[in-house]
A and B are shown apart, each in its own frame.
Chain A
């Protein structure tokens, strides 16, 4: 076993907390799958519609679920006083945030495997690209939700406020990500806003993987943007954590 660093110790601790909370695990893993199944059923008469939006939603559902879980989990750390204790101990702020990212990232992998397996294997989602690429993008999208959840929880003082960030931060991205109106057909102002939103790249990437069999520069660019946003949000989350508070 590799020696335990503050970050891996924190990730281990977060996972142990999750293990004591099977209902949360079930919700994180099952909800995206149920939603995808529901979507397939909804478009029972129009399988081409399921093919069209199934891919993007395979990325969006885990994004939303992970965003919610992470933002509340880290807030709980703040409200119970354990965060204050950690900040007096030998651990860097980045290790605390990174530990959460690592633990929930692992859950995101399991979640993506289940959702992708279900969508492609059982529900007959037709994708042109490789299943591995779909999986990769799904994991990245979930990681994006985790990273943004970690970031916004720094700005919430209560769990009440944290859940409000869902409509405030997630829904605008959901509306402008290209699912309802293709991004290049939007009003120019909206298109610019859409260009600035990380979820747009998550959906673009999923669309490319669904519609093209190869890997092109645009896909790599999208993946790069998502990964960059994940790293930036985690770093910003660590920076906004204050050791000294009023």
Chain B
């Protein structure tokens, strides 16, 4: 197990030959990529392309993961990663019948995070005014932020955020991206999924996925250059259309090459 650890410590994530099967279907196919530490990586692709499955694999809750997937130098899901990786699921996973503060206090206790962390993260997601409100009474966007705040507690080295800015207004979205960039400057690695293409431009690196396969790993500028498109959305469409005509042909080809 330790063999993977030291050599790759510059990379927060190393995936090679990564496959995930679900209900007899391969939902991730032969993914190979690395994510450098201290960066914001966008995970983009149409809904159902396997983004969430990849994120679940990274956090160690996905079954049937084959191939190599190292996180912070350890196999994904390793016990030692549990206070080093923060995870925010697509649906806000917090206790609706508790207040914002009570939620954060519980998660902070599990992470052994200091008490002042609770106030820090509450400020960071702009919920100080709702500290004592029951989560059930908050709006969808506010609930998502409580869920995000819980992942910011302690000192996570990797944050895996599944569509953290969905349904948020532009001002708040900008503020959260500022928080993400500040964290990255401090050395935290962030993997942020989105199907909103304009968020791509805020990332340092992009992983573009379709049908469980990795289409490209590029910088936003590199992607525009390569496709000659004006924005990320056009670039993504250009990339999909330049691929072999149809998923079946491409898939069969890919499998032939892999075996």
Contact = CB atoms under 8 A, between A and B. Distances in A.
Q: Do A and B come from one complex?
A: yes
Interface of A: 4, 6, 9-10, 12-13, 16-17, 20-21, 80-82, 84-91, 242-246
B248 interface: no
Q: Please classify how large the interface on chain B is, using the bins under 10, 10 to 19, 20 to 34, 35 or more.
A: 20 to 34
Which of B65, B83, B110, B111 has the most chain A CB atoms closer than 10 A to its own CB? B110
A216 B165 CA distance: 65
Interface of B: 22-23, 59-65, 77, 82-83, 85, 87, 89, 91-98, 102, 106-107, 109-112, 134, 150
Given A86-B110, A246-B62, 13 more contacts: A9-B106, A21-B97, A80-B91, A80-B96, A81-B91, A82-B94, A84-B93, A85-B87, A89-B110, A90-B110, A90-B111, A245-B63, A246-B64
Contact of A244 (B77, B92, B107): B77
**The 10 A-B residue pairs with the shortest CB-CB distance in the complex, in nearest-first order:** A81-B93, A9-B109, A244-B63, A90-B82, A13-B106, A85-B93, A90-B83, A88-B59, A20-B97, A88-B87
A84 B61 contact: yes
A85 B98 contact: no
27 contacts: A9-B106, A9-B109, A9-B110, A12-B106, A13-B98, A17-B97, A17-B98, A20-B98, A20-B134, A21-B97, A80-B96, A81-B89, A81-B93, A82-B94, A84-B89, A85-B93, A85-B150, A86-B110, A88-B60, A88-B85, A88-B87, A90-B82, A90-B110, A243-B60, A243-B61, A245-B61, A246-B63
A6 B113 CA distance: 12
A91 B106 CA distance: 12
A162 B17 CA distance: 40
A31 B65 CA distance: 48
Which of A81, A89, A245 has the most chain B CB atoms closer than 10 A to its own CB? A89
B129 to A, nearest CB: 20
Nearest to B102: A16
A212 B82 CA distance: 53
B179 to A, nearest CB: 20
Contacts of B91: 80-81
Nearest to A13: B106
A87 B94 CA distance: 13
A80 B82 CA distance: 20
A244 B61 contact: yes
Contact of A246 (B22, B60, B82, B102): B22
B107 to A, nearest CB: 7
Nearest to B107: A89
Contact of B60 (A17, A20, A244): A244
Contact of B111 (A81, A89, A242): A89
Given A13-B95, A82-B93, A243-B77, A4 B109 contact: yes
B44 to A, nearest CB: 23
A85 B82 contact: no
Contacts of B134: 20
B98 A80 contact: no
